[in-house]
A and B are shown apart, each in its own frame.
Chain A
Amino acid sequence: MPGEDKYSAAVVEDLVVHRGRQPVLRGLTFRVEPGSVTGLLGPSGCGKTTLIRSIVGVQRIRSGTVTVLGEPAGSPRLRREVGYVTQSPSVYEDLTIRQNVRYFGAVYGATARAADATIEAVGLAELSTALVGRLSGGQRARVSLACALVGDPTMLVLDEPTVGLDPVLRRDLWQRFHTLAAGGTTLIVSSHVMDEARRCDRLLLLREGELLCDDTPANVAESMGTDSLDEAFLRMVLSAEEEVAR
């Protein structure tokens, strides 16, 4: 029984998701360790966002199970435990940073002070009274992140959180992810940037809705006989394609 697994933060078993008639995820099975950073990688259109939505529990699934923190994904208790950051920043453009974070914080039951501390933590304290609509893409992404962090989630699920961020901000953000993981938060982060893959504890490589590999970054590189993750993924995708061709 997947629900009885007390040692995994998330258990996905034989997950199948269709969009219309098109299969998007074709029977995925994997586990996510608590307090780890799991990278979800793969070419665009491979099903990353759909998998993320399934873990958050906002995706209608066709078959299989997704168990998060011991409960079926999307169950009411999990709404307090699982923080979700969508690919495009989902915050109110016609509110200030502070008004956004305080409102979403209130829904989680966080105090105004906790909201302000979260704004500080994502490096936006000086802009807290600025309207989100006037911010740059990277700043908006951080507001969106703050709106999930303010709930102090046990699991944080992020869909391409570093798109449009400069290298310095990207590094800061990854440092934050590791700090959170060290504190016991489980993170699932999708990305298509390979140098980010190296920073994960574990990698899931998706291709056309199937899991190509589920291993540590070091093992992934080694198994493909290269020390470059980029090259390893390329070889993996190519060999999978050759298999399909045969």
Chain B
Amino acid sequence: MMSFRLTLRTAGRVLMQLRHDRRTMGLMLVVPSVLLTLLKFVFDGRSDVFNQLGLLLLGIFPYTSMFLVTSVAMLRERESGTLERLLSMPLHKLDLLLGYGLAFGAVAVVQASVAAAVAYQLLDLQVQGQVWAVLLIVVSTAVLGSSTGLLTSAFARTEFQALQFAPAVIIPQLLLCGLIWPREEMAGALQALSDVVPMRYAAEALAEVGTYPLPTNTMWRDFGVIVGFVVVLLVLGAVTLRRRSE
């Protein structure tokens, strides 16, 4: 039986663990703003480019950091034996996974809010859409990163291996999502491939928010696809959690 109470307790426990690691928290909150500032100066005088890229990077930072922090946290849970303990206890697998998703989703809200505040207020990022729409897409993308990390950590034995999944998962998505090169100009096979790349929907949704003052149907559809990916990844993650092992 799933229990909302235990999902919340698990999320609370994960957040408590993060709170004891102040340096990681600090890095997660500060680095996106620093990188956005760097981007601003790189495209000094090309505010049109900064507006476009800045918004997209606003979405990719939380995705990346939540992916990394979740896969390492989950791997530690396996290595320390706490995962085996939890699986021998009356805890539903989805309580555990949703707890992780919820905790890192909450961190993503803070992270994205700080980065967005810096981008809007200090760096003068110009976005047509409303702030809540930006945050909605950014946070759902971060939760997507978190659930991807939960799944890939099942295929890693060590923290080194878990981190090696980061470039393997993130860079192909960056190449295919339309950020580096327009999807319309890719070869047919690559275009088809890019349709199953989760980050493409995040990139498209953010581009919509950047271009139109009101949420578009495309944005809502992309948001739905992102949520769909999250659900599928969490269910796959639950399948990798075995109560019995060799």
Interface of A toward B, CB cutoff 8 Å: 19-20, 56-60, 74, 76, 79-80, 82, 84, 86, 88-95, 99, 103-104, 106-109, 131, 147, 151
| Interface membership of chain B positions 16-46, coded 1 if the CB is closer than 8 angstroms to chain A and 0 otherwise | 1100110000000000000000000000000
Q: How far is the CB of B51 from chain A (nearest CB, A)?
A: 40
Residues from chain B with a CB closer than 8 A to the CB of A79 are 88-91
The chain A residue sitting closest to B84, CB to CB, is A58
14 A-B contacts (beta carbon < 8 Å): A58-B84, A58-B88, A79-B89, A86-B81, A90-B81, A92-B13, A93-B80, A94-B20, A94-B21, A107-B9, A107-B86, A107-B90, A107-B91, A131-B20
Q: How far is the CB of A143 from chain B (nearest CB, A)?
A: 12
* Pair B20/A57 contact, Cβ less than 8 Å: no
Q: How far is the CB of A216 from chain B (nearest CB, A)?
A: 30
* Pair B88/A94 contact, Cβ less than 8 Å: no
Contact of A80 (CB < 8 Å), options: B21, B82, B90, B243? B90
The chain B residue sitting closest to A20, CB to CB, is B246
Bound Cα distance from A106 to B5, whole angstroms:
9
Q: How far is the CB of A125 from chain B (nearest CB, A)?
A: 20
Q: Is B157 an interface residue (CB 8 A)?
A: no
Q: How far is the CB of B22 from chain A (nearest CB, A)?
A: 11
Residues from chain A with a CB closer than 8 A to the CB of B221 are none
B38-88: which have CB < 8 Å to A? 80-82, 84-88
* Pair A58/B87 contact, Cβ less than 8 Å: yes
The chain B residue sitting closest to A105, CB to CB, is B9
Q: Is B245 an interface residue (CB 8 A)?
A: yes
Given A58-B84, A90-B81, A92-B17: A108 and B244 interface contact (C-beta under 8 Å): no
The chain B residue sitting closest to A81, CB to CB, is B90
Given A84-B85, A107-B9: A95 and B90 interface contact (C-beta under 8 Å): no
Residues from chain A with a CB closer than 8 A to the CB of B5 are 106
Residues from chain A with a CB closer than 8 A to the CB of B109 are none
Bound Cα distance from A160 to B193, whole angstroms:
52
* Pair A95/B16 contact, Cβ less than 8 Å: yes
Given A95-B20, A151-B89: A88 and B81 interface contact (C-beta under 8 Å): yes
Q: How far is the CB of B216 from chain A (nearest CB, A)?
A: 43
Bound Cα distance from A95 to B77, whole angstroms:
13
Question: When A and B form their complex, which 4 residue pairs have the shortest distance between CB atoms, in order from nearest?
Answer: A90-B81, A79-B90, A90-B85, A103-B13
Residues from chain A with a CB closer than 8 A to the CB of B87 are 58
Residues from chain A with a CB closer than 8 A to the CB of B21 are 94
Q: How far is the CB of B17 from chain A (nearest CB, A)?
A: 5
Q: Is B6 an interface residue (CB 8 A)?
A: yes
Q: How far is the CB of A148 from chain B (nearest CB, A)?
A: 8
Bound Cα distance from A104 to B21, whole angstroms:
21
* Pair B6/A106 contact, Cβ less than 8 Å: yes
Q: How far is the CB of A147 from chain B (nearest CB, A)?
A: 7
* Pair A92/B82 contact, Cβ less than 8 Å: yes
Contact of B246 (CB < 8 Å), options: A19, A82, A84, A93? A19
* Pair B13/A95 contact, Cβ less than 8 Å: yes
| Most A Cβ at <10 Å: residue of B17, B89, B91, B245 | B89
